Amino acid sequence: MKKDFIHIILADDDEDDRMFFTDAFDELKIGTKVKTFNDGIYLMDYLNSNNCELPHVLFLDLNMPRKSGLECLYEIKANPKFNDIAIAIYSTSASEEDIEKTFVQGANIYIKKPSSFKVLKKVLSEVVTTNWQYHTNGLNKDNFLLRL
């Protein structure tokens, strides 16, 4: 079977978090290609550029300078070009208000940043495999809500 890569993007201003994130994917058995951006402006510039490769899953940190994750979410949901991207909020906050608000605004996944590398790997693997199920089995993405 031809190996398809799963494309992942993370926008997060914290350098350590970006590093843990890419390291975690490197250690998973799933074939992924991971790109990271330092804030929402860089991210949206990339997504809006003509020859960018759209990710299967986009991870957004909520608190970023210049352009927050929430602002990115609004922009992405307003543009039909991005309909197929699963949006994962990747945040230190676990307030019920943030969670429900981002889900209502169209996020598919809400992840509270795990405190250990081991848990991070487990969580990311679950996100990617669940998303893959939606992708390959023609499940309705509008009903895709996952909280970890």
Partner 1 sequence: MTLFLKFDFRAICKKVLEDTLQAYNIEYKIMGFGEVELLKKPTTEKAQMLFDALKNYNIEVVENQKSILVQKIKDTIIDMVFNENTEVHVKTSAYLSDTLGHSYGYLSNLFSEVTYTSIENFIILQKIEYAKRLIINDRLSLTEIAFKLNYSSVAHLSTQFKNTTGITPSAFQRIISKRRELNQQN
Distance CA 6, CA 31 (A): 6
Backbone angles phi, psi at 32, to 5 degrees: -125, 155
Nearer to partner 1 (CB atom), residue 31 or residue 65: 31
Strands 146-147 vs 86-91: parallel, antiparallel or unpaired = unpaired
Containing H/E element for 140? none
Residues in contact with partner 1, total (CB under 8 A)? 24
> Taking the CB of residue 43, how many other CB atoms lie within 10 A of it?
26
- 145 touches partner 1 (CB under 8 A): yes
- Minimum Å distance from CB 16 to partner 1? 25
- Minimum Å distance from CB 29 to partner 1? 8
Across 5-99, the runs of DSSP E, i.e. the strands, are 6-11, 32-37, 57-60, 86-91
Give the contact letters, 21-50, x = binds to partner 1 (CB under 8 A), - = no: ---------x--------------------
- Minimum Å distance from CB 1 to partner 1? 6
Candidate residues 36, 68, 91, 130; the one interacting with partner 1 per rule CB under 8 A: 130
Q: Take residue 73 and report the two structure tokens written for it.
A: 């979410």
> Is the distance from CB of 54 to CB of 82 less than 8 angstroms?
yes
Nearer to partner 1 (CB atom), residue 19 or residue 145: 145
What are the C-alpha distances in Å from 27 to residues 24, 43, 89? 5, 25, 22
Nearer to partner 1 (CB atom), residue 118 or residue 147: 147
> Which residues between 50 and 109 bind partner 1 (CB under 8 A)?
100, 103-106
- Note the residues at the interface with partner 1 (CB under 8 A): 1, 30, 100, 103-106, 110, 128-130, 132-133, 136-140, 142-143, 145-148
